[in-house]
Amino acid sequence: MSPKTLYDKIWDAHLAHQAEDGTCLLYIDRHLVHEVTSPQAFEGLRMAGRTVRAPDKTIAVPDHNVPTTPGRNDPEQMPEDSRIQVAALDSNAREFGIHYYPVSDIRQGIVHIVGPEQGWTLPGMTVVCGDSHTATHGAFGALAHGIGTSEVEHVLATQTLIQRKGKNMKVEITGQLQPGVTAKDITLAVIGETGTAGGTGYVIEYCGEAIRSLSMEGRMTVCNMAIEGGARAGLIAPDETTFEYVKGRPHAPKGAQWEAALAWWKTLYSDDDAHWDKVVTIRGEDIAPVVTWGTSPEDVLPITGTVPSPEDYEGGKVDAVRRSLDYMGLKSGTPLSEIEIDTVFIGSCTNGRIEDLRAAAEILKGKKVKDGLRAMVVPGSGLVRAQAEEEGLADIFKEAGFEWRLAGCSMCLAMNPDQLSPGERCAATSNRNFEGRQGRGGRTHLLSPAMAAAAAVTGRLTDVRELM
Amino acid sequence: MEKFIKLTGVAAPMPLVNIDTDMIIPKQFLKTIKRSGLGINLFDEMRYDDNGDEIPDFVLNKPQYRDAQILVAGDNFGCGSSREHAPWALLDFGIRCVISTSFADIFYNNCFKNGILPIVLPQEEVDKLMDDAARGANAVLTVDLENQTISGPDGGTIGFEVDSFQKHCLLNGLDDIGQTLEKGAAIDAFEAQAAQARPWV
């Protein structure tokens, strides 16, 4: 048998049909659904008189629109268009008989946090969702990627996806990380190296000692941003850390099925002599705590750097950098650590898990948020929130001056009322710094939870190592 | 889905690289439960000022490009989110074809599902078409999917590649789901076999 990558193995195990022209039907094990990209798909099913083929493999949760303030179970808290969208998900979930976690359920949260937490996401699966950050689930050694609404409808109706196989890309992070450097810094540093289109057409497998040493939370952060590097999916081979995380979760296999699953999961790794179409290697020791300065996730620099100049670039990027600096209100040559901020946002499917909150709280313990600065923590799920309260993290955030919110996507994409005003500058643990992403005219700097906490204390982008 | 066979229309130049889905259709317009009506908000934050008035310098606000049906764009067009609202907005505005050196995967795929043809060409050819597009009302291109060619205003012709299955679907305006359901027996067989091999799924 020819050697295979992990991606090859999962692909082969899910190939339901291959046409003569090479077009494939890939079988989908888990379909996650949220309120923004699904209403037109359900409507399409109804119009065509179709049903959901595998309701048991379909899981819905509202997250993008939902308010994160107390009393949100009252729909009157939402603007009318958001309320209609969430109500549509409620009724579609009921009508088609799919699993559902409404806002009133403590298990509700960001779809990419709920899936793993409930054990829906398992190694070797194919997982899709109408959301590009579905790549998150790749942390379990699952082939997981975002799809459009037409494809959501296709999966609902057929439980398959029309696909052509992507290429294999290996991203190896060797050695160990320095103190103050986290999974977020890894994933941003990789995008800084490869560019936002570097992974286009590829499925990335992250490997190497620094990746192996990460917790599941950290691995999810790394895979989450594969899409920001252009790759639809990023994955990490499952190991004891993975099995330990999965075991005992509500929808994880039990008993004899657990043993059978485990035996198969242990075969899910890339063979030594597997073929890679592209390889990127970065030394873990070389990665510093990083921030973004521009309006593309590839605009990454170590916090010790300075704002670049358009002349540092070539081709179309020259104009893009000029436009970015103008939008961001930054001057070339300014040290990044002198950039003052107005807002800190800790949360999102990138960094809204318990470990992220622990890392931020560790920095904040006994300190206060800088006067006049707005700071909020939005846990990724109701269960993350409850655990953080139990561990005393919520008290640390509140005492420091952070708002302690309910679970949702919140200010990552600002579809709910959590938004930046024009010109407002935010240190955010989310995944996109696009123009207008967090609110029209809002300026976003992406960074890790620990770096976000440090920025909250000093009121400017800050090297977290100074506060450790 | 409307068929795409041959399109002759004005091409608008958008040389900016990394035009993302938040630029194409900002999130405040994702709250719709319909596919239609998004064209008015296409490129909303680049197209309108804070008072909602048109920004005259923006390409699609210029008289010669208001009816553009083709975009010639910088690298990595459509990066970012999976929102199909991006192609819906383009289509609703009247754009049926986007030409660039590269596209983000999910956006690229979403285009085909909506009768929009995304075309990838080498840098020199995109540069040439960008120059053609900059000629304003004379920037008329003809995109012939059947023969896989683009003809410019000066009579030159450029060939392009397209996946044979996607081409077939566009030329015939075919619905993916209907075609997949025809393979129902293969899906049933796979599902039965997978239930044996991986009963925990």
Q: What is the pLDDT of residue B153?
A: 82
| B187 found inside a domain | no
Q: Give ranges for CATH 3.30.499.10 in chain A.
A: 6-163, 290-467
Task: Tell me which residue in A19, A21, A25 faces B187 most closely, judged by beta carbons.
Answer: A25
What's the CATH number where B159 sits? 3.20.19.10
Q: Yes or no: say if A410 and A344 are a contact pair by the CB < 8 Å rule.
A: no
ipTM: 0.93
Secondary structure of residue A438 in the 3-state scheme: coil
Asked if A131 and B81 come within 8 Å (Cβ–Cβ), the reply is: yes
Q: Which CATH class is domain A167-234+244-286?
A: alpha beta
Q: What is the pLDDT of residues A102-136, one digit of tens each?
A: 999 999 999 999 999 999 999 999 999 999 999 99
Is pLDDT at B135 greater than 90 in this prediction?
Answer: no
Q: What is the pLDDT of residues B35-83, one digit of tens each?
A: 999 999 999 999 999 999 999 999 999 999 999 999 999 999 999 999 9
* Residue B201 distance to chain A (closest CA, Å): 7
Q: What is the pLDDT of residues A425-460, one digit of tens each?
A: 999 999 999 999 999 999 999 999 999 999 999 999
Residue A345 and residue A444: Cα distance in Å, rounded? Answer: 10
Is pLDDT at A76 greater than 90 in this prediction?
Answer: no
| B181 found inside a domain | no
Asked if B80 and A132 come within 8 Å (Cβ–Cβ), the reply is: yes
> CATH for A290-467, among 3.40.50.1000, 2.10.10.90, 3.30.499.10, 3.40.1160.10?
3.30.499.10
| B194 found inside a domain | no
Work out the angle at residue A207's Cα, subtended by the Cα atoms of residues A205 and A210, and round it to the nearest 5 degrees: 145
Q: Yes or no: say if B142 and B148 are a contact pair by the CB < 8 Å rule.
A: no
For chain B, what is the domain count? Answer: 1
Asked if B50 and A40 come within 8 Å (Cβ–Cβ), the reply is: no
* Residue A244 distance to chain B (closest CA, Å): 17
Domain that holds residue B16: 6-176
Q: For residue A337, which of A400, A286, A402, A290 has the smallest C-alpha distance?
A: A290
Asked if A414 and B27 come within 8 Å (Cβ–Cβ), the reply is: yes
Q: At A242, phi and psi to the nearest 5?
A: -65, -50
| B189 found inside a domain | no
Q: Which residues of A touch B81 (CB under 8 A)?
A: 131-132, 146, 413, 432
Q: Is A412 annotated as a binding residue?
A: yes
Q: Which residues of B touch A261 (CB under 8 A)?
A: 198, 200
Q: For residue A162, which of B1, B165, B35, B144 has the smallest C-alpha distance?
A: B165
Tell me the average pLDDT of chain A.
97
| B182 found inside a domain | no
Q: Give yes or no for B186 touching A (CB within 8 A).
A: yes
pLDDT category of residue A167 using cuts at 50, 70 and 90: very high
Residue A358 and residue A144: Cα distance in Å, rounded? Answer: 27
| B183 found inside a domain | no
Q: Give yes or no for A433 touching B (CB within 8 A).
A: no
Is pLDDT at B137 greater than 70 in this prediction?
Answer: no
Q: Is A129 annotated as a binding residue?
A: no
* Residue B79 distance to chain A (closest CA, Å): 7
Q: Which residues of B touch A413 (CB under 8 A)?
A: 27, 81
Q: Which residues of A touch B181 (CB under 8 A)?
A: 157-158
Q: Give yes or no for B76 touching A (CB within 8 A).
A: yes
Could you tell me where the beta strands, DSSP code E, fall in B28-183? 70-73, 97-100, 117-120, 140-144, 149-151, 157-159
Asked if B30 and A415 come within 8 Å (Cβ–Cβ), the reply is: yes
Q: Give yes or no for B28 touching A (CB within 8 A).
A: yes
What tokens were used for B52?
């909602």
Residues in chain A, total: 468
| B98 found inside a domain | yes
Burial of B18 (0-12, 13-18, 19+ CB in 10 A): buried
Q: Give yes or no for A463 touching B (CB within 8 A).
A: no
Q: What is the pLDDT of residues A260-285, one digit of tens each?
A: 999 999 999 999 999 999 999 999 99
Alpha-carbon separation of residue A50 from A32, A41, B9 (angstroms): 19, 11, 37
Q: For residue A125, which of A254, A249, A32, A222 has the smallest C-alpha distance?
A: A32
Residues 30-89 of chain A with CB under 8 A from chain B are 36-37, 39-40, 43, 48, 50, 57, 64-65, 79, 81-82, 84-85, 88
Residues 375-404 of chain A with CB under 8 A from chain B are none
Could you tell me where the beta strands, DSSP code E, fall in B110-154? 117-120, 140-144, 149-151
pLDDT category of residue A73 using cuts at 50, 70 and 90: confident
Strand order in the sheet with A374-378: A403-404, A374-378, A343-347, A425-428, A443-446
Q: Which CATH class is domain A6-163?
A: alpha beta
